[in-house]
Amino acid sequence: MAGQMGGLSGSTTVTIVITDVNDNPPRFPQKMYQFSVSEGAALGTPVGRVIATDADMGENTDMSYLIKEGGDLFKVTTDVETQEAVVSIKKPLDFESKRTHNVVVEAVNKHVDPRFVDLGSFRDQTIVRVSVSDIDEPPIFQPAEGAVMEVQEDAKVGSLVGIVLARDPDVMNKPVRFSIEPTTDQDMIFHIDANSGAITLGKILDRETAGWHNITVKAIEAVGRYLQQSMGRRWGTSWTVCQSIAGQHTNNHAHTYGQFRETN
């Protein structure tokens, strides 16, 4: 009889499924990552990728990244396929101004379970150290937009018209050499001192023939990383800027001069 020793019995299998809960925070395997990028890299160029790991499963591993420090020059986005943080350039970099940047990247769980907030912060941080490498930059004119120079039409040959200034942004006090682009002064009315940038008259001016002259002055590194042969001398990269030279009547009447423009 049922209920007595030796009575009939049955059994079954019960499967217990343990569902995951978000009780693990993201963790970066390293507290610092190091990358290098050229100062000439374009905006949006990826600098490097880092990733935080999460011991949970499914959507509980979803995370987003943000920059806590260093976000003025860099930005971070999340690769949805790999869950990696992609650090890229937001603003131009300058080796001469700052050679190393420390960017603090934070990983944050997207789906935080309020039942486990007492376990601690569901976020983690790492430092992305970005080293900026130098590139050979061309000389910079001062002022960059060029200058208007005035000279009396009765000035003698050899008279000083003005002085152009340029500097090498890479190395302080590095020599810069000047020359006039021949196509902008085919009659060789002006001369320029290659070392000082002083522009002088090579011929007598006549305002009735030409009221103003627009010449291009080239500033070139005396020694550059990328060298080319020019007039028997080794030069680096170059930059050009227009200098407008207006001939004035000897009676000093006021005149309006056309606006110069920069050429590349």
Does 139 score more than 50 pLDDT?
yes
Please name the amino acid found at residue 46. Answer: P
CB 142, CB 251: distance < 8 Å = no
Q: For the ranges 80-89, 113-122, 124-133, 228-237, which has the lowest average pLDDT?
A: 228-237
Q: What is the pLDDT of residue 264?
A: 40
Angle at the Cα of 156 (from 151 to 157), degrees rounded to 5?
100
Q: In what order do the strands lie in the sheet with 74-79?
A: 46-50, 84-89, 74-79
State yes or no: pLDDT of 76 exceeds 60.
yes
- Listing DSSP states for 215-229 in one string gives EEEEEEESS-SS-EE
Which of 133-142, 197-206, 252-261 is predicted least confidently?
252-261
pLDDT digits (tens, 9 = 90+) for 156-169: 999 998 888 888 77
Q: What is the pLDDT of residue 117?
A: 62
Per-residue pLDDT at 248: 55
Better-predicted residue by pLDDT, 24 or 163:
163
Q: In this structure, which long-range contacts are made by residues 118-122, counting pairs with CB atoms below 8 Å and at least 24 apart in sequence?
A: 119/23, 119/25, 120/25, 121/25, 122/22, 122/25, 122/26
82 vs 1: CA distance, rounded Å: 64
pLDDT in tens, 47-59: 999 999 886 666 6
Contact predicate 76/86, CB 8 Å? yes
Residue 165 corresponds to which tokens in the numbers above?
A: 């200034």
Return mean pLDDT, the chain: 77
pLDDT over 60 (residue 236): no
* Most confident residue range from 90-99, 107-116, 250-259: 90-99
Per-residue pLDDT at 231: 29
pLDDT at residue 191 is higher than 80: yes
Mean pLDDT of 83-112: 91
More confident site: 130 or 213: 130
pLDDT at 15: 86
Higher pLDDT, 100 or 171: 100
Q: How confident is the model at residue 103 (pLDDT cuts 50, 70, 90)?
A: very high
